Amino acid sequence: MIIAIDGPAGSGKTTVSRLLAKQLGISYLDTGALYRVLTLKALEENINLNDGETLQKLASTMNVKIEGERIYLDDREVTVEIRTPLIDKNISQVASHPQVREVMVNLQRKITYCKDYVVEGRDITTVVFPHADYKFYLDADFNERLQRRYKELKEKGLSVSWEHLEEQLRKRDEADFTRKVAPLKKTEDAIYIDTTNLTLSEVVNKLLSYIKKKTIFR
């Protein structure tokens, strides 16, 4: 069973997906983390981020390990490092290359093959798993998403200015929605959930109620 969840940055996807998977007793895959690890590796190796072919090679050979909420690159834990503003700033460029996306899509299908997973990202309901058992699109107002992202970074002890973060979120939204390959969009069959005024558990319960309803009528 695949539960596919898409939505913009700060829509609550990651936390919601993690909790939902826990409640259902199944696994969870944050596909953004894979793009983040690749961006970190490319920056560390001084790779030109316009060079799709070299990035593709890097993506197909990188050694990523996911253990619960912890992410490892070449056996080094990079859980916090991949969520810094430096990665946010550069990730859209890395994720824009079709060659990179091809490797990532295959990797995501390989990780989840024949298993029960909640998978979240930007192109999960459209490209990676268009025939997923359940499809959701999570959204929230821009200001709410900005606030969430600001809080998340502060809690991690990372210093960021509100204005800088606002500019970065706008740029990332623009890149996510207008990318030539696999842009973020809601499919007709995905259930739209506006999380702006909902608590985390309210969102999870909403998703669970749709899942239970569909299971009963199958």
- Which of 78, 91, 138, 193 forms a contact with ligand DC (CB under 6 A)? 91
Stretch binding ligand DC (CB under 6 A), from 60-68, 120-128, 137-145, 204-212: 120-128
Stretch binding ligand DC (CB under 6 A), from 46-54, 61-69, 91-99, 199-207: 91-99
Nearest distance from C-beta of residue 57 to ligand DC, angstroms: 19
C-alpha distances in angstroms, 91 versus 154, 173, 186?
Answer: 20, 12, 21
Instruction: Identify which of residues 5 and 211 has a Cβ nearer to ligand DC in the complex.
Output: 5
In whole angstroms, give the CA distance from residue 38 to residue 43.
9
Copy the structure tokens of residue 136.
């959701």
20 scored as a contact of ligand DC (CB under 6 A): no
- Residue list 163-182, contact with ligand DC (CB under 6 A): 172, 176
In whole angstroms, give the CA distance from residue 54 to residue 62.
12
Nearest distance from C-beta of residue 111 to ligand DC, angstroms: 13
12 scored as a contact of ligand DC (CB under 6 A): no
Contacts 24+ apart (CB under 8 A), 158-167: 158/83, 158/84, 158/85, 160/85, 164/85, 165/85
2 scored as a contact of ligand DC (CB under 6 A): no
- Which of 28, 103, 121, 136 forms a contact with ligand DC (CB under 6 A)? 121
32 scored as a contact of ligand DC (CB under 6 A): yes
95 scored as a contact of ligand DC (CB under 6 A): yes
Nearest distance from C-beta of residue 176 to ligand DC, angstroms: 5
Sheet holding 134-139, edge to edge: 27-30, 117-121, 2-6, 134-139, 191-194
Q: Which residues bind ligand DC (CB under 6 A)?
A: 9, 31-32, 35-36, 91-92, 95, 121-124, 172, 176
